[in-house]
Structure 1
Amino acid sequence: MSRRSAGLVGVWAEVQRQQQRQREAEARQRREQERQARAHQRQLAQNQREYRQAEAGRRTAELDDRVASLQGLLAAGCRAPAFRAAALLRTEEVQAFDPGPLAWPVRMPDPAQYQPQGGWTAGRRAQAEAEARARFEHDWYAAQAAEAQRQQQLAAHRHEYEQRTGAHLSEVRRHNAGVTELTEGVRSGDPEAVVEYFSAVLYAATTWPEGFPRQVSAAYDPAARQLVLDWELPGYGVVPEAKSVRYMPTLDQDKETPRPVGQRRALYREVLAQSVLLAVHQLFAADESGALESVALNGVVDDHDPATGRQALICLATVMAPRGMFTGLHLEQVDPVSCLTEALRGQLSARPDQLAAVRPSRRPEDVRDRPVTRGGDEEPDLYDMDPIAFESLVADLFRAMGMEAVTTERSNDGGVDVDAVDPTPIRGGKIVVQVKRYRNTVPPTAVRDLYGTVQDVGANKGVLVTTSGFGPGSRTFAQGKPLELISGTELVDLLHRHGLRGRLGERGRPAARPEPAAREDYNVLGMSWSGDVALDVCALVCTGSRVLSDEHFVFFNNPATPDGSVRTVAAVPPDRAALRVAFDALPDRADRLVLVAAIDPEAAPHADLSGFTGAGIRLLDSAMTELGRLDVSDGRPHETALVLGSFRRRAGGDWDFVVGGRGYPGGLAQLVRDHGIDVE
């Protein structure tokens, strides 16, 4: 199967599948919780015969329910609503502009409220009148200034609202135009549009039981108006091997009664026939424009070919169904096997449990060299995902984490991509989420904007989710604030942990930062100091006094430069912090490496650098042999960040160390801002 379809319906189908996966994951989690609870109960009452018998009866009932759902697969699927392209269209409704408190003008002072106080004599009375007039004028000018500020803020909020709603309407219209274009393509018989649409119909259907595959490979023959596809069927293991469970008190154990082989084989053949008929039914039911005159469907399983031992797609059922004949069937009343093999003259393997293949009437490869493939185990590439679908996936993730979440495309809440509520007492509350589908580092301005939104809407926390990463400027600004930054790799990990799927590019994760080329080409800078003050030791790769980029600021949230030439490493006593530097691998445009120390505001929020004394740097080679020792300045009271010194590149290419000493009362944020990193 060659490639996946792309487009609006394909993205929608992927989101639908992710939502179903989430529901299935939740169901599995509930079953696991129930199983654990039962295990605990069984441990407490394992000698109670009534409980063991009831447990055996429950397991038997589960087997019966599973078999009943397999036997009723076709009937249940036919009762489900048909796929309609109109359901993909979004409304252009937007929430009315709500300025909130800014809608109310500032109340002007009333002169009647400013009467003279006191004054028995003419002079005192004149003074009291002057004081009252002065108070009135002071309050009047203050009110005028407040009103001007209100009008300015109101205009800014209105401008932001108009921009936001304009962008939303543009996105909705662009999406709807794409849906219209696709449906027109299906109506006109465009092969690409037809295949994309009907592949999505099957892939996104929610009627298939948990564990059923969703792999489809399709091609469209416009001359015959025929859709030809391979549709993956479930394996033999879908039919339970056990028929019932019975508790044997004399042995104090459960005994499974196996399902007769003939009964299991017959049920499996029936499931295959139902799956083929249901897939054809879904295709014809979704064909609003009459693009399909017939459907040639091959039901395949992905297994080892008994003849060759190689993994292959083995055809176990095939049918070529004309539209007129198929739509005249009453599928809820038919015998699936008879309907497939007799009424439709299809083929069904006599021994599907042994992978006995049948010959397909027509394959997608007969119509097109490279048929379109959808489904399987391939995960969606988050970089290529539609922005709206990406926001929906993030909302699914928050729901999977136990929160209530909705995308703002549906709620139209201003300035936020996803609204979430954490029901956890004390630490929970309203969470605003912004989503950035970037390939490059998220700029600090985006983090500052999120913080402003958190304050404007009164949220408990703001979360910024991206497919890329964050620089030191963003991390430093977020420190100590109700903000959480989730990078692309962290997002993929969260998705996988909560039953959702997603990858970053072809390999699923960004390329790892390279190590220095050779072990001999780096040095270790080990730093030590007296006192109990908690410090973060950082490095900035600079040209002059300006850092090359946010990624060239190495600290606890950015442990290495992009080229790996500078990175944090574990300190070896007597050192308390350490950096590894490959001086020859530093960028050509870099002429200095600045070393700084700063108070850890979380560990010591009220501390300063007065306790930073007796400081020094050991210069070691890659074998951890000490080559020399460099003294640095002590810290001073009221300062929370300090430039320890800098290595500077000389004309001949050597590096000399220059002692620093400049302190910063504003901490690490002030220091890095002074070196060109955009942080507030």
Structure 2
Amino acid sequence: MAQRDSGRGNDYQQQQALRRAQEQRARQSERERKAAVTASKRQERERKTAYQEQQAEQARVRTIGVEHEVEQLGQLLRDALVGDPPTTFERRRRTHTPRALDERPWSRPEPSPRWEEFAPSEPGGLTAVLGLGRKRYEAEVAEARVRFSEAQERHRRAEEKRLATLERKRAEHRQAEAQALDEVATFNTKLDEEREAYRAGDPAAVEAHLGAVLDASVYPVGFPHEHRIAFRPATGDVLVEIHLPPESIVPTARGYRYVKNRDETTVLPRPERERKEIYASVLAQVALRTVHEVLTSDPDRVVNGVILNGHVKTIDRATGQEVSPCLVTLSASREQFGKLRLSQVDPAQCLRGLNALVSPNPYDLEPIRPIVEFDLSKYRLMDSMDVVAGLDSRPVLVKLTPTEFEHLIRQLFEAIGMEAWNTQASKDEGVDAVAVSKDPVFNGECIIQAKRYSKLVSVESVQALAGVVEHKRAAKGVLITTSWFGRASHDFARQHGRLQLIEGPELKYLIKEHLGKDVIPGPVPPKRRPSR
């Protein structure tokens, strides 16, 4: 009985111990679970904090980027004042740096075949003593010699090919080096010729060099580099037409901010007034910088002044067509511009001091009329000739040479009050002279053709002038002759609306009125029949 009680007590103790162990494991498991939950929450908080810090850092970096963009826009002019011009004739010269040929692929010969690699093993031991297998060995030697000879022949051919390839590569390399050296020499020779032509004031050389200068000018990303240049040797003025950056070059955001409770990055907008002020400053800086770079890149002082037109390429919202409104136009002489301390000026006020015309609302692309409304780059102009001084009393115009007559017409238009230039023969597309005036009668660019005729000028000549006027987009075409035009020509000119015909009698009057010379145009035109 005592033994049974003792057994039951032991069972009870074991059950209690087992229960306590289970409870202890359960408590341990709960502690581990809670610890895991706590760790998971901590990791989630840390991940969220890291994410928010990353988003805030990205917003800060983007803000710094925008601030840097705006800072660059404010330094456009000052950047050009530091250091040398964008390029010079000397810096445009090319040099040739010889390149060594990498001969490693063909310089190392393959190892020659060795007989030991082909020779069969000689018989040994008892076989050698008894002389057994001798014939077989000799056959193997003969076969090995054949294979050895073939290997030597393959090696010889491979070596010949390697040496031939190496020599060919060397020859190609020498040829390429000689060609590169010749190209550099040819380029530099042409550059030297251009340099001399520049000193002489050749329009093509001046335009080419100044074009290279503007091409080499470094602007921030997004700025256009398109330009057109025309040089007037008669006055020393250079006409520069540049494309200005669009209004989108000014960042619309002042900065960025990350909002934690919404988990989003918001844009801090730049006020419209500030955007307009920055854009107006950019246009003024680009205009002043362009004039500065043109004048400082002219060591021979061939250029006396700069006429600048700044256009912006955009889309007309009313028509959907591409347009290029002019937003800035100015004319400055070298002497006038040289008095400016560009490092100290306010760009917008400086333009006003130069009497520049600036769009009243450049941010809205409100256009202005350029100071010079023509494109001289369409024409190749030639040096002027004084014909009037050589005219005798009552000269007959038809006895002048064609060139003399064309220059006389140019001098007539200059005396009327216009700026005029003759074009080079064979390069004028039927244009003998170009004249420009702000007079509302002429309203801009005139294309002039001079016909030193003694008979009727055909209507085809009038129609051809109309085609040139349209092609050159000129404001007006003037056809002047020492003879006369037919009724069809007058009707065509009247219907076209932008053609003016000047016959011999009217030409005689104009020369008398403006040049003080009494001339005889040519034959008297026949009387016209009255219109029915």
Structure-1-length-normalised TM-score: 0.39
Structure-2-length-normalised TM-score: 0.48
Larger fraction in helix: 2
Larger Rg: 2
